[in-house]
Amino acid sequence: MENAIDIAKKFALTSEPVKAEGFGSGHINSTYRLECEDGSVYLLQKINNHVFADVDGLMNNIDLVTSFLRKKIEARGGDPMRETRNIIKTKDGKNYYQSEDGTYWRVFVFIDHTIVLQVVEEPKHFYYAGKAFGNFQKLLADFPAEKLTETIPNFHNTVSRYRDFERQIAENRSGRAEECAKEIAFARRYDWVARTLYPLIAKGELPLRVTHNDTKLNNVMLDEKTGEPVCVIDLDTVMPGLSLYDFGDSMRFGTNPAAEDEKDLDKVYCDLNLFEQYAKGFLEECGDSLTKREIELLPMSSITMTYECGIRFLADFVDGDHYFKTERPEHNLDRARTQFKLVADMETKLDEMHKIVAKYV
Ligand code: GN1
Ligand code: MG
């Protein structure tokens, strides 16, 4: 079987690859920091093709989106090699390589002098994350959405997510459903949350835009010295979606001062100061283009996206951990618990969130 170095040799690198080390913290793909003989560094990734069934469509999306962004970044005098992902093609000019064992690989330019955070360390980091994702949305406002493949159909369709959740609980492939009866009961008590955003698209109340759809704090690279945003990464789920998905998912991950998989739930809550930091940054960048209805729903989107992630983690736990990477048997359950703790906490803070949003529109 080909190892990471053999695979790297298929790509048009500046010199021979010599070292590949595990890197990053994504729950889906596997990432390596790749070093070459001449000292140049790249990012090598194995794409999870169980999650992304159409790798060709996925990589074509990333090629289209990054090419589009590069032009905009150049036009405003930015650095297109740092401020967006850049695909390194294979020696035969393809966006990815399929190895002999059927796995899929890609290489990106490595962006140095940046940090990626798992929790907010200084409030300004989250303000900058808000600016990064708000700006990302602004830059893609005139991207021709019809050119994009839907890499994961119904990705944020919370109505079908809830149906899948009930089906996986009923199937109980892991036999662990009883172990999490309390969490299942919570998910059912809050099932109304699944109907707060998605159905409004069909009713014409919310516009589809080109959105990132996976806006966790660790999907933005910040300058190691200043903390200012450098580059939005993890473009696998850039698809038509709601601005509210991007806003809410950032709040889900970033307003919690503890880790997504923290076992001590006393440490898990929604920090409203952090909520304010992100809201300010996001709205400064793209607030002008949001509709009244979108703005009204910004606070609620934090709950909806956190709930969605919670039922996905819980369903995967009961299903036997086939989707998200896990490091311990209870990992997905621990993650579901933090999400549900946040949902309940955010619910008590909705009024405050509305007051904060009102300050920046
Ligand atoms: C996954 O790949 P990563 O770790 O950035 C997941 C997101 C979840 C997130 C939860 C394609 O994101 O939807 O919100 O984990 N990505 C996919 O941390 O399912
Ligand atoms: Mg990621």
Residue 92 CA to ligand 1 centre (angstroms): 31
Query: For 171-181, how does the pLDDT look when each residue is reduced to its tens digit (9 = 90+)?
Result: 999 999 999 99
Q: Which atom belonging to ligand 1 lies closest to the Cα atom of 48? A: 11
Q: Which atom belonging to ligand 1 lies closest to the Cα atom of 313? A: 10
Mean pLDDT of the chain: 98
Residue 77 CA to ligand 1 centre (angstroms): 32
Flag whether pLDDT at 2 surpasses 90: no
Cβ neighbours of 309 (radius 10 Å): 24
Question: Given ligand 1 and candidates 214, 221, 308, 337, which is best to mutate, with the most ligand atoms within 8 Å of its CB?
Answer: 214
Query: For 94-127, how does the pLDDT look when each residue is reduced to its tens digit (9 = 90+)?
Result: 999 999 999 999 999 999 999 999 999 999 999 9
Domains observed in the chain: 4-112 (3.30.200.20), 123-359 (3.90.1200.10)
Q: Which helix (H) or strand (E) holds 74?
A: helix 55-75
DSSP-assigned beta bridge partners for residue 46: 30, 105
DSSP-assigned beta bridge partners for residue 306: none
Cβ atoms 34, 19 nearer than 8 A = yes
CA dihedral sign of residues 224, 18, 58, 86: positive
Residue 122 CA to ligand 2 centre (angstroms): 21
Residue 102 zone, left/alpha/beta (φ > 0; ψ -120 to 50; rest): left
Give the model's pLDDT for residue 267.
Answer: 98
Residue 59 to residues 8, 213, 234, 235, 238: CA-CA distances in angstroms?
A: 17, 16, 12, 9, 11
Question: Given ligand 1 and candidates 119, 216, 321, which is best to mutate, with the most ligand atoms within 8 Å of its CB?
Answer: 216
Q: Is the CB of 260 under 6 A from ligand 1?
A: yes
Closest Cα to atom 7, ligand 1: which residue?
214
Give the model's pLDDT for residue 190.
Answer: 99
Flag whether pLDDT at 353 surpasses 90: yes
CA terminus-to-terminus distance, the chain: 56
Q: Is the CB of 216 under 6 A from ligand 1?
A: yes
Tell me how far apart the alpha carbons of residues 359 and 186 are, in angstroms, rounded to a whole number.
33
Cβ atoms 217, 358 nearer than 8 A = no
Give the model's pLDDT for residue 132.
Answer: 98
Query: For 282-329, how does the pLDDT look when each residue is reduced to its tens digit (9 = 90+)?
Result: 999 999 999 999 999 999 999 999 999 999 999 999 999 999 999 999
Q: Which atom belonging to ligand 1 lies closest to the Cα atom of 51? A: 11
Cβ neighbours of 160 (radius 10 Å): 14
Q: Which atom belonging to ligand 1 lies closest to the Cα atom of 218? A: 5
Q: Which two tokens stand for residue 287?
A: 């607030």
Q: Is the CB of 214 under 6 A from ligand 1?
A: yes
Question: What is the residue type of 162?
Answer: Y
Residue 339 CA to ligand 2 centre (angstroms): 18
- Give which of 165, 154, 152 is closest to 317, Cα–Cα: 165
Residue 233 CA to ligand 2 centre (angstroms): 7
Give the model's pLDDT for residue 122.
Answer: 97
Decide the pairing of beta strands 229-232 and 220-223. Answer: antiparallel
Flag whether pLDDT at 1 surpasses 90: no
